[in-house]
Structure 1
C-alpha cells in the first residue's frame, strides 16, 4: 500500500463551479430519494453485491468503468487528468428489518441497517450533478464492496492499481451518524476511527471429572483469571492520553456441568488510535494470557488478526470541507472521534482522505446496525451535500457558493 505524506496538487482545471453544481445537485435529489428506496428494498450481503452494483451503475452517467474488489466498480465522471474519488459502500447486513415502511427490505434476513443505501444514492446524485456541470473537476465514484466483513473491499482497491490508474489525488467519504443532530456534519482533522483488531485466546489444561478438581488443570478457572487480568492492560499499561479498548465478547468452554474440559476459549476486540499503542496492547495481551494461564498450570495460545488501520483524516481537506459546509446549509459539529472502525481507512492510508460523519434522524433510539434504523429521506440530501463539500475541498476550489 502506498502511504501519502502530503496533500497533492489539486486537480487541473481551476476552481470548480460550485454554485452551478449545487443547483444541479438540488435537481437530482428527488430521483436520488427514489433510488435510495429501491436500494433499501433490495439489499445484498457482503461479497454478493453484484445486483446492487448494477442498479447503481444504471443510474450513473456514462463513463469509464473498472471492476473493483470482485463485486465493486470505479466509475470515472469527467475527462482525463487528476480526479477526486468519492466512496460509497455496496453491502448490507444480515439483519431482519423491523421498520414497517412500504419499501422495507424484501429479502429476509438482510437489511441496509448502516445507511449504505443513503450513501449510494447521495453519490449517484453528486455524480450526475458533476457530470451535468461544465468545468467540473473529474470525479471517480468508488462503489466499494465488503465494508461490513473481511476481507475488506477497500483494502483490495487500495492495494490494486486502480487509484493510480484513475489518477485519484484525494478520496472522500461520508457516513450517517445518529448520535449527531440532523443537519450537523463532523469534518474532524486527524484520527477519527480506531484501528480494529480481533483476538482469540485458547487456554489448554487437563480435563476430568468435576468432582475431582485436584486431578485436573482447570482451563475454565484459568481463562476466567485471564479475562479479568486483561482488563488492567488498558487501565494500567496504556498511557491515559492515548487510550484504547480491549474487550472480551465471547466465551466458550465445555458442554457438560460435571466435566472439566480440556480447553476454554475467549475472543474479543482491540481498538487503538495510535500504531505504537496498538503494538503495545498486542504484546501485553499475549504476555498476560500466557503468564496467567501458566500460573494456573495451563498454557495459552493467542491469535491476533489485524484489521483496519486508524482512519486518519487529512487536516487540510478537513479544514477546507468544514469551511464549505455552512454555505451548503449544513452545520459544523464539534469534532467527533469514535472507536468504531471503517475500512475507508485503507483508502485514506493510500491517499489524502476525508471521512465526514453526517447527523441523521434514524428513528426512536436509533443505532447503527439496529433492525429499526431508518434515516429519513432528508439524509440523502445531507450526505450528498457533505460529499459535495469534500469533493470541492479536494478539488482545491476557493470559489464561494454564494457568488453568482
Structure 2
C-alpha cells in the first residue's frame, strides 16, 4: 500500500489512516451479501423503510442511530466536534430488471443507479472507521431516501437541521459513473452536475373536425412549432464555448386521427451549469411559448418546477482528495455531467465533494434495466468514501468548517 501523505499531520494518525485501507479491503468482502440482498429487494422512493432497517442492523453497535421522519437515517460515531458526513442514497427506480444476475430483483423495481453499491460501500467504510483506534474526525452517516424524485430526501435532512445538530463541516458523496472507465476516479473542482428544472407547456386552442381546419385554432400545430423552436434557445443564446441542455420528453394531444383537439401539452427538462444560464433559458422558454401561442391564435400556460441546484465541488477539498487518490496510485479523470443529483443541496449548505467512480463499459447506462456494475464497484466506491472522509477530516483540522466555495 503506498503511503498516504498529508492525511493527518502527526505520524500516529497517518499510520492509522493507512491501516484503514487495509482493513477496508476485508470489510468490502464482508458486505458482498448485503449488496446482493439490497439489490434483490429494492424499495422505490418513499418506501425505503425496510432498506433503512437493514442498514441500521448492519452497522456496529458503537454508532448512535436515529430515524427521522420520512425514513431518513442518521448514524454517528465519535465525540463532539466538527464532523464529516457521508451520504448514501437508499431508493431504487420503478424499472423492471432485465439482467442475468442470480440476485436480480423481480418486483418491478430495480437499483439501476448504483444505490445498492453505494449503501454496501458505506457500511464497509463505517465499520472500518469504527475499528480505528484513533479516528481523525467524528463520522455522520446520512442514509437518505428519495434521491430519485422531486420531493428530495436531501430537503428533509436539511430541514431537520442535521448539519447544525451534528456540527457537520464537510459532506462526502460517491456515485458510480459508466461514462468513466473502470478503476478511474473523478473529483473535479467546481461545477460537476447541472441544475435540473422541469417545464410543462399547455397550448389551448379551438377544437374542430380534421376536415375543417379553418374552424380551429390548432394546438398541435403550436406544439410542433414550439418543440422545434425550443432547440434554438441553446443553439442561439448560449456561448458555444459553454453549454446547456433543453430536452423535450413528452408530447400529448389528441385522441383521434380525424379531429383537431382543443389542447396539447409538452414537458421537458432544462439543465444548466450557471445561474445566469438557468435564468436565461427559463426566460427564453416563456418568450418562445408566448410568441408561438400568439402566432397560432392559442392561449398558453407554462409551468417551471425548479429542481436541484448546480452541484459544485469544493475546490480545496477536491484537490486534497485527488492528492490522496493519486498517492494510492489510482487513475484520475476530469469529469462533468449534465446529470443532476440532490447531493447538490448539501453542497449549497456545506463544504462538499461528489466523487465519481468508473464502471466497466458493459455495465450499461444509469437508469437502464440492464445496469450491472462490475465486481470491483463496491471496493472503488468504498475507497472514494474513505478517502473523502480522511481528506475532509484533515482540512477540518487545519481550517475548521467553512461555507461552501463557489467557482
- TM score, norm. by length of structure 2: 0.91
Structure 2 segments unaligned to the other structure (5+ residues): 1-6, 398-407
After superposing the two structures, state which structure 1 stretch, 389-398 or 192-201, moved more.
389-398
Map of 1:155 onto structure 2: 155
Aligned partner of 2:127 in structure 1 is: 128
Q: Secondary structure at the residue paired with 1:396?
A: helix
- 2:292 is aligned to 292
Helix, strand or coil at the partner of 1:363: helix
Please name the residue that 2:3 is paired with: none
User: Any residues of structure 2 matched to 1:231-270 within 5 Å, and which?
Assistant: 231-270=231-270
In structure 2, distance between residues paired with 1:249 and 1:323:
40
Is it true that 1:348 corresponds to 2:372 in the alignment?
no
Deviations 1:226-275 (A, max 9, x none): 11111111111222333211111110111011111110100100000001
- CA deviation after TM superposition for structure 1 residue 328, in Å: 3.4
The CA deviation at 1:313 is 0.3
- 2:338 aligned residue: 339
- Provide closer, same or farther for how the CA distance between residues 102 and 362 of structure 1 changes in structure 2, counting only shifts above 3 A: farther
Could you say which residue in structure 1 is the equivalent of 2:279?
279
C-alpha distance in 1 between matches for 2:152 and 2:226: 31
Is the contact between residue 93 and residue 148 of structure 2 (CA under 8 Å) also seen in structure 1?
yes
Q: Indicate the residue corresponding to 1:383 in structure 2.
A: 381
Question: Structure 1's 69 and 278: CA in aligned 2 closer, same or farther, altered over 3 A?
Answer: farther
1:370 to 368, 381, 395: 368
Cα RMSD over matched residues? 2.0
Shift of 1:347: 0.8
Distance 2:194 2:51 in 1: 28
* Residues 174, 355 of structure 2: 8 Å contact kept: yes
Alpha-carbon contact 1:15-1:398 (below 8 Å) kept: no
Note if contact 1:363-1:372 (Cα within 8 Å) is conserved in structure 2: no
CA distance in 2 between counterparts of 1:386 and 1:69 reads 29
Instruction: Verify the 8 A CA contact 1:69 1:145 in the aligned structure 2.
Output: no
Aligned-partner Cα distance in 1 for 2:361–2:110? 14
Q: Which moved more, 1:186-195 or 1:216-225?
A: 216-225
Indicate yes or no: 2:168 matched with 1:145: no
Question: What is the alpha-carbon distance in structure 1 between the residues aligned to residue 302 and residue 123 of structure 2?
Answer: 44
Give a deviation string over 1:94-147, Cα, whole Å, max 9, x none.
Answer: 111121221111x42011111101100111111100000011121111101001
Shift of 1:332: 1.1
1:217-236 aligned at under 5 Å gives the runs: 217-236=217-236
Q: Is the 8 A contact 1:11 1:83 kept in 2?
A: no
Label 1:114 to 1:69 Cα distance change in 2 as closer, same or farther (>3 A): farther
For residues 109 and 44 of structure 1, the distance between their equivalents in structure 2, rounded to whole angstroms, comes to 10
Aligned residues: 387
C-alpha distance in structure 1 between counterparts of 2:344 and 2:190, whole Å: 12
**Partner residue of 1:175?**
175
Shift of the 313–162 alpha-carbon distance from structure 1 to 2, 3 Å rule, reads same
Q: Which sits farther off after the overlay, 66-75 or 188-197?
A: 66-75
Which residue number corresponds to residue 7 of structure 1? none
Structure 2 equivalent of residue 4 of structure 1: none
- Find out whether 1:51 has 2:50 as its counterpart: yes
The TM-score, its normalising length taken from structure 1, stands at 0.92
Whole-Å Cα distance in 2 between the matches of residues 55 and 124 of structure 1?
A: 11
Q: 1:395 to 1:224 in 2, by over 3 A?
A: same
* Matched-pair contact (CA < 8 Å) for 1:56–1:124: yes
Mapping for residues 205-220 of structure 1, pairs under 5 Å: 205-220=205-220
Q: Does 1:98 align with 2:98?
A: yes
Query: How much has 1:158 moved relative to structure 2?
Result: 2.0
Q: CA contact under 8 A between 1:11 and 1:81: conserved in structure 2?
A: no
- Give the unaligned 5+ runs of structure 1: 1-9, 400-404
> Cα gap change, 1:228/1:398 in structure 2, threshold over 3 Å: closer, same or farther?
closer
> Secondary structure in 2 aligned to 1:236?
helix
Residues in 1 aligned to 2:200 and 2:271: alpha-carbon distance in whole angstroms: 15
What pairs with 1:54-69 in structure 2 (closer than 5 Å)?
54-62=53-61, 63-68=63-68
Q: Partner of 1:28 in structure 2? A: 27
Task: Say which of 375, 391, 396 aligns to 1:393.
Answer: 391
Q: Give CA deviations for 1:42-78 in whole Å, capped at 9, x if unaligned.
A: 1111100010111111111122222245112110022
